[in-house]
Amino acid sequence: MKTTFKSYRVTIKKPSKSNRNFLRLYGIFRSTLNPEMTFKAFYDYYVSEKLDYIDVTFLYYNKVLAGFYSASFYKVTINGKKKALGRAATGILPEYQQKAMPKFGLFYKYVNYKYRHPFTGLIVSAFLANALVYAMICKYTAWVWPRINSTVPANIDTIKAEILNSSKTAEPANHPYVVKINFKVSIGESLLERIYSSQSCHVQYFLQINPHFYNQQCVLIIVPFTWLNLALSALLFLYYSCQKSVEAAAKNILNMWSEIFSFTGKGLEKN
């Protein structure tokens, strides 16, 4: 059976029990991340007096609501300066996790916000329980904290303090950038196997600082979404894209020469 994929994007400005899109988000959030989550815990996760709006995209596979990714934006003041705080959340049902979750869907949401508010400082954060998602962000983002072999700047520590002060769902854990949330994220056996078998240095670092990620503990990541960081990250993406092409071309050349050498060697043996 051919798989059909569709996405449906909405903006939620007044989240409540009477908002059908917010209820739809609650349903898929609970199905993909925590089946036992109460509406109050979900409401507290997204909503505060600083919330501006929630930009969410619902993912449908064969007309089944299978996942989502959202960016919620908050108006905050840090060191006397007005800024926007963007917070990410993603989820997909286990049976669809091998399907293509749009890799840069959240990125485009933040670019859209930055384009519409070019002079507002935007800081992106997320509570990550998935080491593979963390590794992908570290790979393609020039400036993100915490990360391996990198010292966290003092201004990022200040931003972290603001995030935790305004959060109703997270509190500090055993590492400065690991937080304990008030609900458990469901992680399937296949995902656990992929995480523990990964050779990525970023995955290994994630497991080092957050070994109990399966027990309500997440790594709090912070990304300054500046034009410079965008430009540097674009260069990183271009580098890795070219690297794959070069490696594929080199592999093809090696295979070709191997075949030629093998054929020549057989000919010499016969002679």
β-pairing, 178-181 vs 81-92, is: unpaired
- Quick: pLDDT tens for 6-56: 889 999 999 999 999 999 999 999 998 888 889 998 998 899 888 999 999
Q: What is the pLDDT of residues 60-105, one digit of tens each?
A: 988 889 999 999 999 988 888 889 999 888 888 878 776 656 667 8
pLDDT digits (tens, 9 = 90+) for 98-130: 665 666 788 889 989 988 988 889 999 888 888
Q: Which residue has the higher pLDDT, 195 or 240?
A: 195
User: What confidence category does residue 169 fall into, taking pLDDT thresholds of 50, 70 and 90?
Assistant: low
Question: In the prediction, which pLDDT does 261 show?
Answer: 46
Find out whether 193 and 131 touch, Cβ atoms under 8 Å.
Answer: no
Residue 268 has pLDDT above 90, yes or no: no
Place of tokens 């520590």: 157
The b/e string for 98-135 (b: 16+ C-beta within 10 A; e otherwise) is: eeebeeebbbebbeebbeeeeeebbbbbbbbbbbbbbb
Per-residue pLDDT tens digits for 207-237: 999 988 877 788 999 999 988 988 888 888 7
Q: Count Cβ atoms below 10 Å from residue 238 Cβ, excluding itself.
A: 10
pLDDT band at 244 (very low <50, low <70, confident <90, very high): low
Alpha-carbon span 108 to 216, nearest angstrom:
28
User: Mean pLDDT highest for which of 135-149, 176-190, 257-271?
Assistant: 135-149
**What's the rounded Cα separation, in Å, for the pair 180 and 129?**
10
For the chain, which domains are there?
A: 5-225 (3.40.630.30)
